[in-house]
């Protein structure tokens, strides 16, 4: 039987542990890998931290999922595990609602009460957190993180490594470039450039204080 190894023993990792057991085909969890070997000291009864990320040697029956919320950390850890021969899988909670003809990459996490509409596409290592939805014909690039209660509406295109904060809404047809950050509660009505950070209703580019006084 395949054993799930979770990268990251923080709060999201502990949530993914529970949700993996609630998938349509429940996972047996072997444990976590995390550079903080003491991360679970306050949480007795959990599966162990097996090793630091760079030190773990994948077993033939291991399947990996990454439960890290920051895109740059997630990418770095996944690349280390893949270089060591680790094989990644998807964790899809049984309450997720999936439309027709969707496309899911590898390493995707769909948390409880998420929705992926018909003909939507999610790239590798995308995480969709609680009560978030990806509507029909939307495209979500690899490494992207959607936090809780996010509404990605029809035909939206998100690039790679995008972070979308909780309760944000991206309106139909909007395009968001690679590495952009959408602030919590933002309503995005226009395209967002690669690497840009936007906040507010309607969402506008974040202006640093030194730029205001320049």
| Residue positions annotated with a catalytic role | 136
Backbone angles phi, psi at 94, to 5 degrees: -65, -15
- CA 67 – CA 71 distance, rounded (Å): 10
Q: Cβ-count burial of 3 within 10 angstroms (0-12 exposed, 13-18 middle, 19+ buried)?
A: middle
- CA 44 – CA 146 distance, rounded (Å): 29
* Alpha helix ranges (H) inside the chain: 11-20, 71-83, 209-212
Task: Report DSSP state, residue 54.
Answer: G
């Amino acid at each position: 039987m395949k054993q799930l190894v979770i990268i990251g023993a923080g709060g999201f990792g502990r949530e993914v542990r529970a949700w993996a057991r609630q998938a349509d085909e429940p996972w047996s969890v072997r444990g976590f890998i995390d550079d903080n070997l003491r991360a679970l000291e306050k949480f007795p009864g959990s599966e162990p931290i097996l090793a630091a990320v760079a030190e773990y040697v994948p077993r033939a029956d291991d399947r990996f999922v990454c439960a890290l919320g920051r895109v740059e950390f997630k990418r770095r850890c996944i690349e280390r595990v893949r270089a060591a021969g680790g094989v990644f899988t998807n964790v899809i909670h049984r309450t997720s609602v999936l439309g027709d003809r969707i496309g899911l990459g590898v390493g995707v996490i769909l948390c409880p009460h998420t929705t992926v509409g018909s003909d939507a596409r999610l790239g590798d290592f995308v995480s969709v957190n609680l009560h978030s939805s990806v509507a029909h014909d939307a495209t979500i690039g690899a490494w992207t993180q959607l936090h809780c209660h996010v509404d990605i509406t029809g035909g939206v295109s998100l690039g790679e490594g995008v972070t979308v904060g909780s309760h944000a809404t991206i309106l139909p047809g909007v395009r968001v470039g690679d590495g952009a950050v959408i602030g919590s509660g933002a309503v995005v009505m226009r395209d967002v450039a690669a690497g840009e950070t936007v906040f507010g209703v309607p969402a506008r580019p974040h202006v640093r204080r030194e730029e205001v006084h320049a």
